[in-house]
Amino acid sequence: MSVHEHPAKVYPVHPQLKDSAVVKGLSEYQAMYEKSLADSDAFWADIAQRIDWFSPWHQVSQCDFSKAQVAWFLGAKLNVAHNCIDRHLKDKADQTAIIWEADDPADTRHISYRELHEEVCRAANALKAHGVQHGDRVCIYLPMIPELAYVMLACARIGAVHSIVFAGFSADALKDRILDCEAKVVVTADEGLRGGKAIGLKAITDQALEQTPCVSRLLVVRRTGAEVNMVAGRDCWYHEEVAKQRPTCPAAWVDAEDPLFILYTSGSTGKPKGVLHTSGGYITYASFTHQYVFDYRPGDIYFCAADIGWITGHSYIIYGPLANGATTIMFESTPLYPDAGRYWDVVERHKVNIFYTAPTAIRALAAEGDAFVKKYDRSSLRVMGTVGEPINPEAWGWYHDVVGDGRCAVVDTWWQTETGGIMITPQPGVNDMKPGSATLPFYGIEPVIVDEACNRQEDVEATGLLCMGRAWPGMARTVYGDHQRYVETYFSRVPGYYFTGDGCRRDKDGCYWITGRVDDVLNVSGHRLGTAEIEASINACDWIAESAVVGCHHDIKGTGIFAFVVLNRDNADHKDDFDAVFKTVREQVTADIGKIARPDHILISTGLPKTRSGKIMRRILRNIAKNEYEDMGNISTLADPSVVALLIEGHRKQFNS
Ligand code: 7RM
């Protein structure tokens, strides 16, 4: 049964949150929401007062979706690292900024705002010493260690642009990202450590750097102490470089529209896009949403379990919380190490008040049973968030009832790499919660639903494509080096609107239910992967002529990866050697992209269902992967309709016999 067939169960606002939350009740939300849309510039000018500006803007916004033009706080100057660190020193110098929870639960470190300031200044001076200047790109390929925070904030401090690459990506994926943004300096570690297992990041980086002439310097953080090969003239130890530097460094006043970072994300076509975020609007939006969505209060211990390699970690481990002077936890390990109680162990030991994770982690932990949860004291928890994919009501119910003891607010936050921050979400103490619905738009956000023909759906109850009717400060400004791609991806499908790529339904109360991607993007464990990227990798296997990738149901990941592969004529004899094909394909994808993109299932096929113009009809493949053999719809436009029966027969044999 899909979420839409469930009679929506409603969990009323928890009374204990109603009077103490930052926004008190639905009518206060509605008044503020209406104000945010009625005079948007006045609203955002007011909200932006939460940020320290060196000099003011001369115009609040200049946005025109028909021209794909977005700019906020024009002419203003600020420094994001100053806002995340320096301005807290007068009253919070000794407060913990970051609690680092290492892979080994016995290993935790408290980093005060004073220490953070010193470490970031040293890192900033080291980057400068190695030639990094305002506007230069620095690629960061680090695990979840404090140096990751130091280096990203060091970039912000000197006006350099960071591009963080998730440490689970392969050498090839790293190489592509370094080349695309022409990074001058790369920062990595000897090894990463997760779940007791070491990952040779330095060796992977060495492989990537064989093909990146733009890189002049590699800084290497010592994490495990493993022996690594240092290339003379190129590689330096991070700890040696920062030790040489002074612990102060002036924060460069940058323009509000100067780039802060690039983050690569998958789309439906081609290689990943370098989503570019700028400084003033992004930090305003990250800070504002972090306070309101999580009902963050001074003194709270805040734990977002994402990886900083993804946007959730950028906005809600580092930038939003630190801009708000919070204590934020950086978690190096996995939810299952040393066992399925790890998150709750962290909650108990650090007395976490706000916890934020993804549905895939919730499902994986729910499957391990309640005992791991109940073993730990979770009475400090007040707000619990989810992000990354639609949450099924069963997982929502377990999170709310078991983890939160039925007493915490659950916020199902919908947003994207491109939106910079949370867009559609419940707010603690404000609105009733509906498991499976992200509920209501955040302040200043105007969701619009259009049908396939781009007609705006004016009725409250509506279904269609989710768009945004107006700009907000946190949105991406361009695709790095390819503005045309930004125009085509977000502003062309539905003229005059920002197109999200998601489908959705709005119910009679105006609540939004996200139904998932409407393009060829898969959401695997909350990570975005383009089917085209995975297919390109599979097709690079010698044995394979062509392939088609679709999503399929997966209990834990939400969406699994199903690949239909056609072997080369010369290798057709491998068709009986399923294990070898499966292994080869998974190894190839791991090498090209990373383990997260490995297919879960493979069906060796004699052909793919293509139209006469050569387009693969994925609808048919999705049905087959779902075990739905009956209702294939119209297949008369296929060049060879007989392939459908062969595919069904193959699938039935492999999966249903
Ligand atoms: C933050 C992040 C974005 C895509 C987005 C959706 C899906 C994210 C939710 C969700 C339903 C949610 N950035 N998505 N959050 N779907 N409910 N609360 O995940 O760029 O990596 O992914 O993720 O499809 O378009 S992302």
Q: Which two tokens stand for residue 99?
A: 């609690």
In the block, residue with structure tokens 């001076």: 125
Taking residues 218-244, what's their average pLDDT? 98
Per the prediction, the chain carries an average pLDDT of 94
Query: What average pLDDT does the segment 598-625 reach?
Result: 89
d(CA 232, CA 248): 29
Under a CB-based contact definition with an 8 Å cutoff, are residues 570 and 591 in contact? no
Q: Is the pLDDT of residue 269 over 80?
A: no
Q: Going by CA atoms, what residue is nearest to atom 2 of ligand 1?
A: 416
Cβ of 412 closer than 6 Å to ligand 1, yes or no, is yes
| Band of pLDDT at residue 3, cut at 50, 70 and 90 | very low
Q: How many CB atoms lie within 10 A of CB 112?
A: 18
User: What is residue 614's predicted lDDT score, i.e. its pLDDT?
Assistant: 75
The owner of tokens 């006045």 is 42
Contact between 442 and 293 (Cβ < 8 Å):
yes
What confidence category does residue 187 fall into, taking pLDDT thresholds of 50, 70 and 90? very high
pLDDT in tens, 572-581: 666 678 899 9
What's the 70 CA to ligand 1 centre distance in angstroms? 22
Q: How confident is the model at residue 57 (pLDDT cuts 50, 70, 90)?
A: very high
Ligand 1 centroid – CA 388 distance (Å): 4
Residue 523 CA to ligand 1 center (angstroms) comes to 8
Helices (H), 182-233: 201-209
Q: Cα 153 from chain centroid?
A: 19
Give the confidence band of 339 by pLDDT, cuts at 50, 70, 90: very high
Instruction: Tell me if 312 CB under 6 Å of ligand 1.
Output: yes
Q: Looking at residue 439, what DSSP letter applies? A: B
Residue closest to 231 by CA, chosen among 253, 199, 203: 203
Cα(118) to ligand 1 centroid in Å equals 35
Residue 296 CA to ligand 1 center (angstroms) comes to 22
Residue 342 has pLDDT above 50, yes or no: yes
Measuring CA to CA, which residue among 591, 585, 574 is closest to residue 549?
585
Taking the CA atoms of 22, 24, 25 and 28 in sequence, report the sign of the dihedral they define: negative
Tell me if 599 sits within 8 A of 589, measured CB to CB: yes
**In the predicted structure, residue 9 carries a pLDDT above the cut 90:** no
112-132 residue pLDDT tens: 999 999 999 999 999 999 999
**Does the C-beta of 416 come closer than 6 Å to ligand 1?**
yes
Instruction: Supply the pLDDT for residue 576.
Output: 72
Section 317-331 average pLDDT: 98
Probe ligand 1: pick from 386, 391, 396, 414, max atoms within 8 Å of CB?
Answer: 414
Question: For a pocket test of ligand 1, which of 166, 265, 356, 389 has the largest count of ligand atoms closer than 8 A to its C-beta?
Answer: 389
- Whether 1 shows a pLDDT value over 60: the answer reads no
Encode pLDDT of 531-540 as tens digits: 989 998 998 8
Instruction: Return the HEC string of 598-652.
Output: CCCEEEEECCCCEECCCCECHHHHHHHHCCCCCCCCCCCCECCCHHHHHHHHHHH
> Residue with the nearest Cα to atom 3 of ligand 1?
416
User: What is the band of 2 on the pLDDT scale with cuts at 50, 70, 90?
Assistant: very low
Q: Is 501 in the pocket of ligand 1 (CB under 6 A)?
A: yes
282: nearest Cα among 147, 418, 411: 418
Q: Residue 44's pLDDT band (boundaries 50, 70, 90)? A: very high
5, pLDDT greater than 60: no
Among protein residues, the one with the nearest Cα to ligand 1's atom 26 is 416
Indicate left, alpha or beta for 165 from its phi (over 0: left) and psi (-120 to 50: alpha). beta
Query: Distance (Å, rounded) from C-alpha 630 to C-alpha 22?
Result: 52
Q: Is 584 in the pocket of ligand 1 (CB under 6 A)?
A: no
Q: Which of 183-197, 315-329, 433-447, 596-610 has the lowest mean pLDDT?
A: 596-610
pLDDT mean over 245-267: 97
Query: What's the rounded Cα separation, in Å, for the pair 26 and 19?
Result: 12
Centre a 10 Å sphere on the Cβ of residue 467 and count the other Cβ atoms it contains.
25
Domain 521-655 CATH assignment equals 3.30.300.30: yes
Q: What is each CA distance from 565 to 576, 580, 644, in whole angstroms?
A: 13, 13, 14
Ligand 1 pocket mutation, candidates 2, 310, 387, criterion most atoms within 8 A of CB: 387
CA of 524 to the centre of ligand 1 (A): 11
Query: What architecture (CATH level 2) is domain 113-261?
Result: 3-Layer(aba) Sandwich (3.40)
**Is the CB of 387 within 6 Å of ligand 1?**
yes
Laid out side by side, the sheet with 498-506 consists of: 447-450, 462-468, 498-506, 512-517
What integer pLDDT is reported at residue 49 of this predicted model?
98
Which whole number is the average pLDDT over 302-320?
Answer: 98
Residue 7 pLDDT grade (very low, low, confident, very high; cuts 50, 70, 90) = low
CA distances from 657 to 650, 651, 652, 653 (A): 10, 9, 6, 5
* Identical fold, 113-261 and 521-655: no
State the distance from the centre of ligand 1 to the C-alpha of 414, rounded, in angstroms. 6
Q: What is the pLDDT of residue 587?
A: 95
Residue 530 CB–ligand 1 contact under 6 Å: no
β-strands 544-554, 273-278 pairing? unpaired
pLDDT at 483 over 80: yes
- Ligand 1 pocket residue status of 390, Cβ below 6 Å: yes
What pLDDT does residue 568 have?
A: 86
Measured at the CA of 624, the angle between CA 656 and CA 414, to 5 degrees, comes to 115
> 3-state DSSP call for residue 384?
strand
Structure confidence by residue, pLDDT tens digits, 20-38: 788 889 999 999 999 999 9
pLDDT tens digit sequence for 273-305: 999 999 999 999 999 999 999 999 999 999 999
- What is the secondary structure of 526-575 as a DSSP string? TEEEEHHHHHHHHHTSTTEEEEEEEEEEETTTEEEEEEEEEE-GGGGGGG
Q: What is the per-residue pLDDT across 393-431, written as a single tens digit (0 to 9) for each?
A: 999 999 999 999 999 999 999 999 999 999 999 999 999
Test site for ligand 1: of 304, 317, 514, most ligand atoms within 8 A of the Cβ: 514
Domain residue spans in the chain?
113-261, 521-655
Q: Is 320 in the pocket of ligand 1 (CB under 6 A)?
A: no
